[in-house]
């Protein structure tokens, strides 16, 4: 197949186009911690696991079972677990059998009451977070031979689009359609005796900064900065201001960078959103608004910066 020359200029080349496995939009991809495997989650209801080969990638497993669109996939830091989530309101945890490269479903978690948008693993523990259209974030952990939902973080007043953990795993940040960011802190239950579930408290709500839905959030494990992707065409970076007294919750300082960021001479935000696989592609130039003939919601998404992540 014709491999297009990358528009991003020298330094990057397109090594592979993996086009035969999915029959609908591929919504998310995730590298395994060892780098040998790539998982792709698709609206066709399947998640494919690709293995790096000499000359490209090959599908080693197709995870089926979700009833409809798979919205997100994430590898656990251990490399042995995979999590997927779907519009069917469930989160599935899969385990890979090393020798056979076979994946088996370890748990089907139906705690959310609506479409689940995003799943992300804790940086070091086998603790999973999910974000949903039901306005909550849920956390899951293993219990005996099954998994259970060990916490429900309520507070957002609309769809939670994404979550990100800080480097310690003691806090996580969620971004929502309600235009706020919420930072949740783990409360260790010292007074409640051992064996009781830690609870999570919302220690900070950032409202008034974003003009529209916040679609993605990333928490830099190096610097602690939090970046957001918003439907108002901007990327924002937040940094924590050292608290004045140990009792007050951390304040966050807001910086608004429409298209530039101190570390890069010029950050090119390239957004191509192909919403249907037979698509009308929405590739915004920085000058014109794209003309997209979808609903207003979709066209806004196509213009927005979506998604965002930090270079490790």
Partner 1 sequence: MAARFSGVLQLTELDDFIAPSQECIKPVKVDTKPGKAAAKIRIEADGSYFQVNQDGEEQKLEKAKITLNDCLACSGCITSAESVLISQQSHGELCKVLALNKAAAAHEQKVMVVSVSPQSRASLAARCKLGLLETAQRLTQFLKSVHYVFDMTFSRNFSLLESQREFVRRFHRKAEDKKALPMLASACPGWICYAEKTHGSFIIPHISTTKSPQQVMGSLVKGYFAEQQHLPPDRIYHVTVMPCYDKKLEASRADFFNQEYQTRDVDCVITTGEVLKLLEQEGVSLSDVDPAPLDTMLGGAAEELSSHRGGGSGGFLEHIFTHAAKELFGIHVGSIHYKPLKNKDFQEVTLERDGEVLLQFALAYGFRNIQNLVQKLKRGKCPYDYVEVMACPSGCLNGGGQIKLEGESSKEELQQVERLYESLRAEIPEENQAVRELYEHWLGGWGSQRAQEMLHTQYHAVEKTNSALNIKW
In angstroms, what is the minimal distance from the CB of 210 to partner 1?
27
User: Mask of contacts with partner 1, 15-54, x by CB under 8 A?
Assistant: ---------x------------------x-----------
Binding segment for partner 1 among 84-92, 152-160, 213-221, 237-245 (CB under 8 A)? Answer: 84-92
Count CA within 13 A, CB hemisphere, residue 23: 5
In angstroms, what is the minimal distance from the CB of 302 to partner 1?
16
Distance CA 285, CA 268 (A): 11
- Rule CB under 8 A: is residue 99 a binding residue for partner 1? no
Which of 89, 182, 210, 236 is close enough to bind partner 1 by CB under 8 A? 89
- Rule CB under 8 A: is residue 67 a binding residue for partner 1? yes
Q: Which is nearer to partner 1, 64 or 188 (CB)?
A: 64
- Rule CB under 8 A: is residue 105 a binding residue for partner 1? yes
In angstroms, what is the minimal distance from the CB of 125 to partner 1?
20
Size of the site for partner 1 (CB under 8 A): 25
In angstroms, what is the minimal distance from the CB of 282 to partner 1?
17
Distance CA 272, CA 235 (A): 16
In angstroms, what is the minimal distance from the CB of 101 to partner 1?
12
- Rule CB under 8 A: is residue 148 a binding residue for partner 1? yes
- Rule CB under 8 A: is residue 109 a binding residue for partner 1? yes
- Rule CB under 8 A: is residue 136 a binding residue for partner 1? no
């Amino acid at each position: 197949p014709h491999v297009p020359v990358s528009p991003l200029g020298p330094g990057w080349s397109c090594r592979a186009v993996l086009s035969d496995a999915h029959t609908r939009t591929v919504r998310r991809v995730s590298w395994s911690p060892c780098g040998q495997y790539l998982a792709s989650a698709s609206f066709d209801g399947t998640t494919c696991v690709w293995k790096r080969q000499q000359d490209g990638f090959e599908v080693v497993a197709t995870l089926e079972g979700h009833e409809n669109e798979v919205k997100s996939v994430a590898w656990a830091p251990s490399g042995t677990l995979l999590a997927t989530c779907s519009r069917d309101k469930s989160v599935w945890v899969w385990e890979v059998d090393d020798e056979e490269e076979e994946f088996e479903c370890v748990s089907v978690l139906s705690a959310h009451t609506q479409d689940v948008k995003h799943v992300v693993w804790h940086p070091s523990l086998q603790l999973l977070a999910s974000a949903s259209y039901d306005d909550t974030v849920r956390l899951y952990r293993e219990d005996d031979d099954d998994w259970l939902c060990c916490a429900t973080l309520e507070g957002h007043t609309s769809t939670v689009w994404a979550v990100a953990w800080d480097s310690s795993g003691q806090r996580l940040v969620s971004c929502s359609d309600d235009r706020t960011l919420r930072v949740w802190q783990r409360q260790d239950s010292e007074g409640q005796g051992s064996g009781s579930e830690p609870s999570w408290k919302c220690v900070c709500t950032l409202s008034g900064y974003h003009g529209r839905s916040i679609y993605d959030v990333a928490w830099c494990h190096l610097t602690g900065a939090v970046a957001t992707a918003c439907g108002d065409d901007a990327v924002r970076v937040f940094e924590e201001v050292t608290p004045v007294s140990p009792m007050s919750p951390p304040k966050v300082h807001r910086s608004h960078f429409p298209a530039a960021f101190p570390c890069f001479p010029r950050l090119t935000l390239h957004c191509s959103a192909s919403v249907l696989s037979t698509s009308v592609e929405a590739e915004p130039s920085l000058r014109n608004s794209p003309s997209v003939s979808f609903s207003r919601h979709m066209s806004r998404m196509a213009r927005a910066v979506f998604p965002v992540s930090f270079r490790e």
